[in-house]
Amino acid sequence: MCRFAGRMLFFFALLRLYIPRLMAHSYPSEGWEIEWVEVSPACIAFDMHRCFYLDVLAGYAAPELTPAFCQLDDYLCEGFPPSIRSKRTQTLGRGGACCDFRYLVAFPRA
């Protein structure tokens, strides 16, 4: 149990270092508006209030294509190890007020 918990926290610590850097590099403020909600040992949370994909597709009168990009995020999160849980209740592309990304440590059940 302690060995598993150590690995779980290690993977999440790597994710906690990686996600903010990835977001700054791959999602610049010219096309994205990101509000950081929490970056802690148990949770990484941010809300996306503006999405380049939605803006461009809406400009081409095709915003209904945006959920395909949202689904890519869903597929990526399916590849996370069991120690990391992703949660998102809404996306801009699916009509939400924001994209609420949450990555949480998934503590093992006793």
pLDDT at 81: 81
Pairing of strands 43-50, 33-39: antiparallel
**Is the predicted pLDDT of residue 12 greater than 50, yes or no?**
yes
Percent of the chain with pLDDT over 90: 62
**Is the predicted pLDDT of residue 6 greater than 50, yes or no?**
no
pLDDT in tens, 81-110: 888 889 999 999 999 999 999 999 876 554
